[in-house]
Amino acid sequence: MIDIKFLRENPEVVKQNIRNKFQDEKLPLVDKVIALDAESRAAKGEADELRANRNKNSKQIGMLMAQGKRDEAEEMKKKVSADAARLAELEGKETELAEEVNKIMMVIPNIIDPSVPIGKNDTENVERERFGDPVVPPFEIPYHREIMESFDGIDLDSATRVAGNGFYYLRGDIARLHSAVLAYARDFMIDRGFTYYIPPFMIRSSVVTGVMSFAEMDAMMYKIEGEDLYLIGTSEHSMIGKFIDQIIPEEQLPQTLTSYSPCFRKEKGAHGIEERGVYRIHQFEKQEMIVVCKPDESPMWFDKLWQNTVDLFRSLDIPVRTLECCSGDLADLKVKSVDVEAWSPRQQKYFEVGSCSNLSDAQARRLKIRVAGKDGKKYLPHTLNNTVVAPPRMLIAFLENNLNEDGTVSIPTVLRPYMGGKEKLVPKAK
């Protein structure tokens, strides 16, 4: 959500940004909100003048009564009464216009960073850098469900009977590997100076609309029937929401947080062969990283965040690449985003395992998060988030890249303490 003052002073910049995001249907909203804003400010100006006159006129009525000028006082009372009725009308109009302006401003996309490539959708995202050599082994890599089943580690049929499609049971070594990866990711981020959190797994609508666009909310969130609560799609929602309506002392910045949570998503996207199994699901667990910082520090933190994910995956012997999201693939609140993609030997291509985003001051403005500067002035901080790791999707990359020809899976050194010292997972048939 951009600043109304910026839109008022730079309408053509805002319109060009909308064009760059290929959302031309939103172009009329700029002129509409400018007109409504002008009407709102005019109503406020008239109301402020009436409020000022009310006090002055009340004093004058007292003086006239004291001087015995009852007729003049009665005339003044009529004027005060008429002004009061007009003021009530204007105050109602102010509220109505403010709500309408805010509703439109919530839909107009944030101004993207100049470095963002212009493109219509994710097919025009741009590869930035590769880390590790993608290897295709001289043996066939089974589908990830088959790998898990070789360890007797997954039961999708029972999950479907219990909860429907998009759910799973993990068990045995695969379940332990799932938990080990999360525990390792937690400690990895703590070692990098982040404070560990376990947040609420449900949030109010005021937080939902503060952290994401309406389109994202409709596509992702599950609402609790009869209550003002939503199941979180990522712990970023709870963690940024933690600061709603708060004033943060500047000396407490940056806030560097890492949080664990289950995540719940509608996942209305594609469901081809590679999206089955545990790739595209309604419930998963994730370790997230969140930063609240000074505006001039957010580009530095953006680079640090995606690098953390790259470093974690490389420590697990998984090749990755970074992909710069183009303008048309950016959610409306984001100014810049980089996806981290892991190599799939089976598919012989990369697939998304994490996304790093800089939202500038959009979430802070919506949630009314402010910073008290050392000079006494208040300003909006920038917020950023990034996936540390999200199994079980991450397990697909892990199993494929660490699978041996004999069906065993090697456990990288850093993960062995979380797996009881095991160096390999051995299929049940072995």
Q: What is the pLDDT of residues 388-420, one digit of tens each?
A: 999 888 999 999 999 999 999 999 999 999 999
- Which CATH number goes with the domain that contains 403? 3.30.930.10
Shared domain check, 201 and 318: yes
Write down which residue in 77, 105, 133 finishes a domain: 105
Quote the pLDDT of residue 269.
53
CA distance 130 to 322: 7
Note the pLDDT of residue 85.
Answer: 80
Query: In the prediction, which pLDDT does 59 show?
Result: 64
Which residue among 42, 71, 105 closes a domain?
A: 105
Going by pLDDT thresholds of 50, 70 and 90, the confidence category of residue 65 is: confident
83 and 127 part of one domain: no
Token pair recorded at residue 46:
């008239």
Predicted model pTM: 0.88
Q: Residue 73 pLDDT more than 50?
A: yes
Q: Do 356 and 337 meet the contact criterion of CB atoms below 8 Å apart?
A: yes
The C-alpha atoms of residue 32 and residue 103 are separated, in whole angstroms, by 12
Going from the C-alpha of 289 to that of each of 201, 255, 303, 320, 389, the distances in angstroms are 16, 10, 13, 19, 10
Residue 109: CA atoms inside 13 Å, Cβ hemisphere, count?
A: 28
Q: Comparing C-alpha atoms, which of 309, 308, 230, 315 is closest to residue 265?
A: 230
90 and 219 together in one domain: no
Residue 249 has pLDDT above 60, yes or no: yes
Q: Please say which residue of 76, 105, 134 terminates a domain.
A: 105
Do residues 378 and 276 share a domain? Answer: yes
Considering the domain boundaries, does residue 110 fall inside one?
A: no
Burial of 396 (C-beta count, 10 Å sphere; 0-12/13-18/19+): buried
Q: Is the confidence at residue 423, as pLDDT, over 80?
A: yes
Sheet arrangement for strand 370-372: 247-249, 370-372, 378-379
What gap in Å lies between CA 245 and CA 225, rounded to an integer?
26
pLDDT at 270: 47
In the chain, how many domains are there? 2
CA 48 to chain centre: 38
Residue with tokens 């080990």: 180
Q: pLDDT above 70 covers what percent of the chain?
A: 94
Interior/surface letters 351-362, b for 16+ CB within 10 angstroms, e for the rest: bebbbbbbbbbb
pLDDT score for 407: 95
CA distances from 292 to 27, 236, 248, 351, 425 (A): 31, 11, 10, 28, 40
pLDDT > 80? residue 130: yes
Instruction: State residue 6's pLDDT score.
Output: 95
- pLDDT recorded at residue 68: 75
Position 348 in a domain: yes
- Which residues span the domain enclosing 389? 122-425
Position 232 pLDDT exceeds 80: yes
- Same domain membership, residue 142 and residue 70: no
64 band by pLDDT with thresholds 50, 70 and 90: low
